[in-house]
Chain A
């Protein structure tokens, strides 16, 4: 069981909007620590998609957005494309564990 909880899977049709949630606790997201999001294609290394809750690295389209409130965070993807099919992970820091933690990952399927 991951410290950060994500739905195992989400799906949507091309052009639609999907959100991926990341639920934490008062020792990580609720303690004010930032959340970061990664995308991982099969057989490839993860790449950062969103850092510090809502910031996009250069090259990441504005179809991807992040938000955080209290003990939860979410990643939203609009204008869904087949190329968005991948696994998505959230990551933060946990005070109680004194460790960097990842969510369990969410597999996005484009129908």
Chain B
């Protein structure tokens, strides 16, 4: 059974760096075609893909946030970390990490997802 759990601060001040950790079990991030993605959802709004790390350590970022995002993995700990610099109130959202399936090609999908963690950016 694949499970993922997001952890990190619930409140971040503007201009600070947000660091979120995705702890997972039930799969190996070194297996071909596997990925871990981060997706966020502002309150009452749609899903937005942020970043993805592939089984071969290839990393991809949302073009609109690329300069502020970093995704890394620690396969020995089964963790993926996402950092978002220069936090702004518009970054207030529920942040999800998800197991990526079928990413041996470009058009993979996300299944399952963690429960998500709500992060508020406010002074």
Interface residues of A (CB under 8 A from B): 2, 33-34, 36, 38, 44-48, 51-52, 57, 89, 91-93, 97-105
**Which of the segments B9-17, B44-52, B77-85 contacts the partner chain?**
B44-52
- Chain B, residues 65-86, CB within 8 Å of chain A (1/0): the string is 0000000000000000000000
- Contact (Cβ within 8 A) A103 B46: yes
- In the complex, the chain A residue whose C-beta lies closest to that of B52 is A100
> Within the complex, which residue of A57, A89, A103 is in contact with B111, where a contact is CB–CB below 8 Å?
A57
Give complex CA distance A85, B6 in Å.
Answer: 26
**Closest CB in chain B relative to A42 CB, distance in Å:** 11
- Contact (Cβ within 8 A) A51 B109: yes
- Contact (Cβ within 8 A) B96 A45: yes
Interface of B (DSSP majority class): strand
- The yes or no answer to B63 lying at the interface (CB within 8 A) is yes
**Closest CB in chain A relative to B66 CB, distance in Å:** 10
**Closest CB in chain B relative to A13 CB, distance in Å:** 26
- The yes or no answer to B28 lying at the interface (CB within 8 A) is no
Give complex CA distance A104, B41 in Å.
Answer: 11
- In the complex, the chain B residue whose C-beta lies closest to that of A96 is B63
**Closest CB in chain B relative to A34 CB, distance in Å:** 4
Give complex CA distance A76, B18 in Å.
Answer: 39
**Closest CB in chain B relative to A99 CB, distance in Å:** 6
Considering the complex, which residues of chain B in the window 92-118 have a beta carbon less than 8 Å from any beta carbon of chain A?
96, 101-102, 106-107, 109-116
> Within the complex, which residue of A45, A47, A98 is in contact with B60, where a contact is CB–CB below 8 Å?
A98
Give complex CA distance A89, B49 in Å.
Answer: 12
Residues of A within 8 A of B115 (CB): 44-45
Can you report 19 A-B residue pairs in the complex whose CB atoms are below 8 A from each other? Answer: A34-B107, A34-B109, A36-B110, A45-B96, A45-B115, A47-B113, A48-B110, A52-B102, A52-B107, A89-B46, A89-B47, A93-B106, A99-B49, A99-B62, A100-B49, A101-B49, A102-B39, A102-B48, A105-B47
